[in-house]
Amino acid sequence: MITVVGGTKGGSGKSTVATNLTVMLAAAGRDVLLVDADDQETSTDFTAMRNETRPGGAGYTCVAVTGRNVLTEVKRLADKYQEVVIDTGGRDTASQRAALAICHTYLVPFAPRSFDVWTLDKVAELIEEARSINPDLRALAFINRADAQGKDNAEAAEFLASKPALEFITTALGNRKAFANAASQGLAVVELRPHDAKANEEVGKLFGYLFNIKKISKLKEA
């Protein structure tokens, strides 16, 4: 299965979500390819840190591919892996279009802020365009960096749910330092010690919604 974490907004959490899902898939025993389709190379840097710091290495393969090359390279590589996760850049619509043409699931995080949800029309356009060549594309929107309180989450949810091009899923991730703390150490949030129970639960629900995988064991250390 090819899962793209996308959207046109920078800083929405694409790389955070892509890297967490990748590590969790690997921990579930899947052979995973993480495609870094953003020239900012966040996923590449994250993977390099894992390869340097973990005795068993990152636990998955990461390649950097941008622009239209995403189409040809991922098509060629997809058969060799059980799961492909693509981390796209916000600005590079060429790589995003290419990823949308070949993926099964397009997952779009939105922060519950106006500037973020205002990009929804653009995202819906990309999806509708992609469906002309990839009619079975599953497009999902969810809230990332949800507020602990206030009405912004609910307002953003209502807006996101109003677009027929995407399915709004309620598996939100809260705005939790654990995500940033884990990333800075080359870890998925489920690997962070001490655990952030709420972050683990949230990312576990999102993962469970996306992938039909029951048990995630620990990644082998060696």
Ligand X SMILES: Nc1ncnc2c1ncn2[C@@H]1O[C@H](COP(=O)(O)OP(=O)(O)O)[C@@H](O)[C@H]1O
13 lies in the site for ligand X, by CB under 6 A: yes
Determine which residue in the list 3, 8, 15, 20 makes contact with Mg ion, applying CB under 5 A: 15
- Residue 14 binding ligand X, by CB under 6 A: yes
Q: Which is nearer to Mg ion, 90 or 204 (CB)?
A: 90
Q: Please say which residue, 5 or 58, places its beta carbon nearer to Mg ion.
A: 5
Q: Which of 2, 27, 183, 187 binds ligand X (CB under 6 A)?
A: 183
Residues 26-45 close enough to bind Mg ion by CB under 5 A: 42
Choosing among Mg ion, ligand X, none, which partner's interface includes residue 144 (Cβ < 5 to 8 Å by kind)? ligand X
Report the alpha-carbon distance of residue 220 to residue 202 in Å, rounded.
23
Q: Rounded to whole angstroms, what are the CA distances from 141 to 18, 56, 120, 175, 210? A: 14, 34, 9, 16, 12
Partner in contact with 81, chosen from ligand X, Mg ion, none, beta carbon below 5 to 8 Å by kind:
none
Q: Which one of residues 3, 22, 44, 144 is an interface residue with ligand X (CB under 6 A)?
A: 144
Class of residue 114 by CB neighbours under 10 A (exposed 0-12, middle 13-18, buried 19+) = exposed
Question: Could you say whether residue 98 binds ligand X (CB under 6 A)?
Answer: no
Nearest distance in Å: CB 77, ligand X: 21
Q: Does 66 bind ligand X (CB under 6 A)?
A: no
Nearer to ligand X, 40 or 51 (CB): 40
- Identified binder of Mg ion from the candidate list 2, 4, 14, 95, rule CB under 5 A: 14
Q: Which does 50 bind (CB under 5 to 8 A by kind): Mg ion, ligand X, none?
A: none
Buried-state track 185-204, b at ≥16 Cβ within 10 A, e below 16:
ebbbbbbbeeebeebbebbe
Q: Contact, 83 vs 61, CB < 8 A?
A: no
Q: Binding string to ligand X for residues 16 to 55, with x set by CB under 6 A, is what?
A: x-------------------------x-------------
The yes or no reply on residue 180 touching ligand X (CB under 6 A) is yes
Q: Which residues bind ligand X (CB under 6 A)?
A: 10-16, 42, 144-145, 173, 175-176, 179-180, 183
